[in-house]
Structure 1
Amino acid sequence: MDPTRLPDGLAPWAVRASDSRGRLHAEPGGGARSPFQRDRDRIIHATAFRRLQYKTQVFVYHEGDHFRTRLTHSLEVAQIARSVARELALDEDLAEALALAHDLGHPPFGHAGEDALDAAMKPYGGFDHNAQSLKAVTLLETRYAGFDGLNLTWETLEGLAKHNGPLRRPSPYIVEYDRLHPLDLTTHASAEAQVAALADDIAYNNHDLDDGVKAGLFTLEEAATLPLVKTAFEDAKRQHPTLPKDRATSEVVRRVINAMVNDVVAETRRRIAALKPASAADIRAHDRPVVAFSDAMMEANNELRAFLFQRMYRHWRVNRTTQKCKRALQVLFSLLHGEPRLLPPWWQEKAGDPGSQAAARAVCDYLAGMTDRYALEEHKRLTDPTIPG
């Protein structure tokens, strides 16, 4: 038997469903499903999760059927998170639930939408998609008779709030929710949440590498000037010298993902061996994450991110779309904040007086929940007199 695993198959420092701090609203047990399996299932059935299908990763939905969306990104993050959690003897269901939920708060149009809402909400505390994800699962989802939100376990909510580390200056909604249901914001999250965060980085950079080549923003050979990609590129060419270009890209990306995953597992094991944690509490109390890249892989990942920033996220074609999308959200926010009676009835009740803080928050929640497609249609309805409202 693996000495790092207890009889239940998990490491001593893994989160255990049997030790869960429970839910804000008490519920009967889930039968054969663990609390974290129930969390995962509730997330998958949530309206906010379905909307991710038509939310931008980099390319707006109409720019191509094969580019990643927030939904396919979340599924790829979940696959990587589950694989890493299994290798490290952590709770796979908790890691998967966090991976599936981590982008539920993203507005339409990707980071362009987030920038637009953050600027519009600056007088009211700004906008942060991590806080909006927490808000989606604790308030905005309206599926259950006994409570707002999904009533997820404390461990899932904690991981959503601080999967990127302790929160020294939390967003207004996280502060508000923490008063009701304390999430220990000043400590690190569980190892499972840290796995989900690293899986996000791995999936994000690699599928953007894949999509960038397929969109013609740069070539695979140009990306192969980066040491990490070069190693994968040369290995793929050596094993398959006559491989067509489209398959070559996929072969390179899968090798880069594999290298990153192996590095995370090895570095995490090294940190665990040094820390010798006896429980999940020791992971949370540690002064730095235990799930991490090695220094060498962190440098390689940063080089890849910098390459993508210059060659993809700031490409002139992407810039054009970004500016148009930001402008659309800015116009929508201005119109609806100034005249909340333009909102659907349910949102009007939340908004209150024109120009108020309550109106700003209601409009922000309304816009953040939109898909790219719905936001563009709403913009037309509110700005084009020839289109019925």
Structure 2
Amino acid sequence: MSSHQEQWSRLLAPYRKTRQDKNLAPLDVVRNPFVQDYDRIIFSSSFRRLAKKTQVHPLVRNDHIHNRLTHSLEVSCVGRSLGLQVGQALAEKGDLPEGFTPDHLGQIIQAACLAHDIGNPPFGHAGEEAIRDWFKDTGHTEHYFKELRPAERADFVAFDGNAQGFRVINTLENNKDAGGFRLTFPVLASLVKYPRSAHEALGQSSGKFNFYTAEQAVFTDIFTTLGLMRDDRARRHPLSYLLEAADDICYRIIDMEDARELRIITYQDIKNAMAPLLGDEDMDAGRLNAMDSDRRRSGMLRTRAMSCIIPSVVQTFLDNYEDIMNGTLQGDLLKHAEKNVADFMAAAKEVFNNKIMNNPQKTALEIGTYTLYKRLLDIFIPACFNFSKKNPMSYQETRALTLMGSNAPAEGECLYTAYLRVLDFVSGMTDDYATFISQQFSGTAAQ
């Protein structure tokens, strides 16, 4: 067995958490464990609620615009294609362990991609920023968080949908507080783009992280079992690079398509951004001109772009294979992409930053997001604080805990866990429900 084959045999081992510890799920079944993972995710309430969560454009009434659920489905398709093609290349190298096929790699990435946004709060990145800013407020910090350890405080002031997603998957869904979905370890590790805690991420350039202090033990178990811990530091699972690329490819292309649908940009803007990627032959001007709408033309360009980018990203993975396997690759795959792909991503990013992000309606809604989250957290955090400290509680605070339902803190839970329960409840809301509850709290709910 070659060194890489031995490494992959550990990286792909389908361990799954059980009530007591973990076991190795059987691979030689018709519905293998990675397919089971996909099914567990797609039938969950957390995944279903993504249909009412913002991808980029909040509270739009145009049915053609993507939400988090449709985005996740599309990312899973691109991820599957990347996994299959990389898997085929590894099989030809002789690096796939016995019993594994390219299909298995495609299935692992497909399941991981399906769940990659499952922890995102209402109103997407604007919601993340609003939550962080509330917890960074000096008055809140001095009153509510002075008893928390620095690592625990970091989870709130650096709130990130990636870490919340890791918690949803491993703690909240299906087997609540007892393993969550209990997905296979390769799928769980492939989800992790930033293998560090909030406390470790603070002060770093990106500030991104993938797990809370509460899930530290789960994370360590997964990454140790798969051979991804070195000198007490975790390194990324090789397949996580493919998940990240699939996400980046989709949102760069699809965000432009949605913006054109909303008349924020034009079809010509999309065509110009595609120019580094698609030559005249790829553009197929005759067929484009024969189409009856810019929506169809944009869809055709998206298809052509995907067909160029996917094999290019696979080649980039193979070109950087040794660094990926050694855990020494700097940055994501697209940072090392071939020139035509890199130029397209740069052009699409410029359109996004300069035109899409600065759309007045989008900006106004994002500003309103801060007011929405302030109303919610101004009530739920004090309620949980007084409950955990056994302080006298107002009628409003008592009713707030009732509203939280199964997400409310239990008797005896520490303050840190009580605050996590608030994040679980608030970040799990849909855009519409969060808006409704905020309006209720303001006393001006729509009739």
TM-score category, normalised to shorter length: 0.7 to 0.9
Determine the C-alpha separation between the residues in 1 that align with 2:422 and 2:213: 20
Determine the C-alpha separation between the residues in 1 that align with 2:214 and 2:367: 33
1:339 counterpart residue number: 383
The 5-angstrom pairing of residues 63-212 of structure 1 reads: 63-89=61-87, 90=102, 91-122=105-136, 123=141, 124-125=153-154, 126-141=158-173, 143-144=174-175, 147-161=178-192, 163-164=193-194, 169=201, 171=209, 173-182=211-220, 183=223, 184=228, 186-212=233-259
Determine the C-alpha separation between the residues in 2 that align with 1:18 and 1:223: 39
* 1:249 equivalent among 269, 289, 298: 298
In structure 1, what residue type is equivalent to 2:325?
I
Determine the C-alpha separation between the residues in 2 that align with 1:348 and 1:207: 37
Aligned-pair identity in percent equals 22
8 Å contact 2:238–2:325 — kept in the other structure? yes
**What are the ranges of 5 or more consecutive residues in structure 2 without an aligned counterpart?**
88-101, 142-152, 202-207, 385-397
Of 290-299 and 90-99, deviating more is 290-299
The 5-angstrom pairing of residues 191-340 of structure 1 reads: 191-226=238-273, 228=275, 231=278, 235-244=283-292, 245-272=294-321, 275=322, 283=325, 285-288=327-330, 291-292=333-334, 293-296=336-339, 297-340=341-384
Relative to structure 1, the CA distance from residue 18 to residue 211 in structure 2 (aligned partners, 3 Å threshold; closer, same or farther) is: closer
Q: What is the aligned length?
A: 370
Q: Deviations over 1:200-224 (max 9, x none)?
A: 0011111111101110001111333
Deviation at 1:58, TM superposition (A): 1.4
In structure 2, what residue type is equivalent to 1:377?
F
Deviation at 1:119, TM superposition (A): 1.7
Deviation at 1:374, TM superposition (A): 1.0
Determine the C-alpha separation between the residues in 1 that align with 2:110 and 2:5: 17
Relative to structure 1, the CA distance from residue 235 to residue 294 in structure 2 (aligned partners, 3 Å threshold; closer, same or farther) is: same
* 2:35 equivalent among 34, 37, 41: 37
Determine the C-alpha separation between the residues in 2 that align with 1:55 and 1:325: 13
1:50 counterpart residue number: 48
Determine the C-alpha separation between the residues in 1 that align with 2:257 and 2:109: 25
1:3 counterpart residue number: none
* 2:427 equivalent among 357, 368, 371: 368
Deviation at 1:199, TM superposition (A): 0.3
2:22 counterpart residue number: 26
Deviation at 1:63, TM superposition (A): 2.7
Determine the C-alpha separation between the residues in 2 that align with 1:12 and 1:235: 44
Of 28-37 and 213-222, deviating more is 28-37
C-alpha RMSD over aligned residues: 3.3
8 Å contact 1:351–1:358 — kept in the other structure? no
Deviation at 1:385, TM superposition (A): 6.1
Deviation at 1:17, TM superposition (A): 8.4
Relative to structure 1, the CA distance from residue 291 to residue 37 in structure 2 (aligned partners, 3 Å threshold; closer, same or farther) is: farther
Partner SS for 1:314? coil
Determine the C-alpha separation between the residues in 2 that align with 1:67 and 1:238: 27
- TM-score when normalising by structure 2: 0.73
Q: Deviations over 1:165-202 (max 9, x none)?
A: 67753759444423345124644433322111100001
Determine the C-alpha separation between the residues in 1 that align with 2:307 and 2:9: 25
Determine the C-alpha separation between the residues in 1 that align with 2:182 and 2:413: 30
- TM-score when normalising by structure 1: 0.83
